[in-house]
Amino acid sequence: MALAVHHNATRVDLPGARGSRGLYIVAQLHLAFVACEGNDRLLTLNLLTRQVVQSFDDPSTHRAYFPLKNIDGRPVLRVMAPR
């Protein structure tokens, strides 16, 4: 996956990602949230260090993570789980 960082395109390795499907960037916080379709993970990427700083995955809960656009000026993460 190529991300634009400081007006330069660069490729960032995302350990633990399979089938990157969604990307949400919070420029003010220098973070990117990457939704992975292939292994149902949500990764948090620090755009300054280009390192994955957090990974959300718990297949036993069947949770799905959806980074959403700004709502009232702030980023939102929707977490859905079966009933």
How many domains would you assign to the chain? 1
Read off the pLDDT of each residue in 30-38 and give the average, rounded to a whole number: 87
What's the whole-number average pLDDT of the chain?
Answer: 81
Measured CA to CA, the distance from residue 71 to residue 26 in angstroms comes to 12
Whole-number pLDDT of residue 47: 93
Measured CA to CA, the distance from residue 46 to residue 36 in angstroms comes to 17
Whole-number pLDDT of residue 40: 79
Cα-flanking dihedrals φ and ψ of residue 35, to 5°? Answer: -90, 130
Whole-number pLDDT of residue 8: 62
Read off the pLDDT of each residue in 18-35 and give the average, rounded to a whole number: 86
| Range of the structural domain that residue 62 is part of | 2-80
Residue 7: pLDDT band (50, 70, 90) is low
Read off the pLDDT of each residue in 20-48 and give the average, rounded to a whole number: 87
